[in-house]
Structure 1
Amino acid sequence: MKMRLLFAIPVLFVLLHSCTAEPLQDDTIIEEAQNNAFLEQEVLSIVNDHRVSLGLNKLEFSEIAYKYANKHTDYMIAKGSLSHDNFSARASSINSEVTVKMVAENVAKDYDTAMEAFEGWYRSASHKKTMEGEFSHTAVSVKKNAQGDFYYTQLFYQE
């Protein structure tokens, strides 16, 4: 019995110290890329035109959502890939600044035009559902990495 206990303690120690949890927030300093305001406005217009064609409301631009969309786009550029990493933290941060019922996001990469990004989202059932969802506000961040690839983050929320 004592032998098993003596063996179990080091094993437990190794297991506890080798497991790491994902941090709630990445403290890595991320360089801020330049926004492409033209593409951002184009995406917003195309999404709103699509929504109106379906009888849905136009989405209002949100500075709050824009701030968090920009941060996430910079994060994806630094990481070198698309992700929804830390989405819950973004949604909570938005909710801390404006009371929201729901938050959603679409991300994209490697589309040279706003229409290509929209069409990519439109062909995906989950992204299309987000674009056509019951939201009141949105913001789009479009930035280019050093290799010339565009990264897109569009955040949506319902007040």
Structure 2
Amino acid sequence: MPPLDTPQDQPNLLSQSESSAEFEAIEQAVFEQINQHRAEIGLSPLTLDPVIMQQARSHSQTMANNRDLSHDGFQDRADTIAQSITYRSVAENVAYNQGYSNPDERAVTSWLNSSGHRQNIEGEFNLTGIGIARNDQGEYYFTQIFILSN
């Protein structure tokens, strides 16, 4: 019987655990850039929430594993968050990039240059969670979930 959790079975999970400090630094950088933009236009800062972070990280890891940028499962993520946080509205931005020394800046810049993504960043939200994952091909996947809590 073959082993169940060999690196070949889950290479991206291994890569993520080995690089968790790097991902946390990138997540923090995205968070700071988003709040800096909000401050520049007179909006209040977002607050990081661990429940939302977990959902964002999980989705980024799924996208990295599947090499598929998508909002698939968004309603499931929103429903899971709703079990812990009563909210009035929820939105999500996703991004992908590869080959840059500043993947966080690239993701935020691409969001700000897209009207729909920018609308989420500048929206009436007070909580957020950011998740980053990288696969074996060096592709970075980003998820940011925005919540307006009650």
Tell me the TM-score range normalised by the shorter chain: 0.7 to 0.9
Give, as a single letter, the amino acid of the residue that structure 1 aligns with 2:120.
Answer: T
Which of 123, 131, 151 is the aligned partner of 2:141? 151
Structure 2 stretches lacking a partner, 5+ long: 1-8
Q: Which residue of 1 aligns with 2:33?
A: 46
Q: Which residue of 2 aligns with 1:70?
A: 57
Which of 66, 89, 96 is the aligned partner of 1:79? 66
Q: Which residue of 1 aligns with 2:5?
A: none
- What is the CA–CA distance in structure 2 between the aligned matches of 1:122 and 1:44, rounded to whole Å? 14
Query: How big is the alpha-carbon RMSD for the aligned residues of Structure 1 and Structure 2?
Result: 1.5
Instruction: Report the number of matched residues.
Output: 131
Q: Which residue of 1 aligns with 2:132?
A: 142
Calculate the TM-score normalised by the size of structure 2.
0.82
CA deviation vs aligned residue, 1:82-136 (integer Å, no higher than 9, x gap): 0000101111110111101111110001153211111100111000000000000
Higher relative contact order (CA 8 A, sep 6+): 2
Whose radius of gyration is greater, 1 or 2?
1
Which stretches of structure 1, 4 residues or longer, exceed 6 Å deviation after superposition? Answer: none
Q: Is the 8 A contact 2:61 2:132 kept in 1?
A: no
How far apart are 1:40 and its partner, in Å?
Answer: 0.6
How far apart are 1:56 and its partner, in Å?
Answer: 0.4
- What is the CA–CA distance in structure 2 between the aligned matches of 1:38 and 1:68, rounded to whole Å? 18
Structure that is richer in strand per residue: 2
Q: Which residue of 2 aligns with 1:106?
A: 93
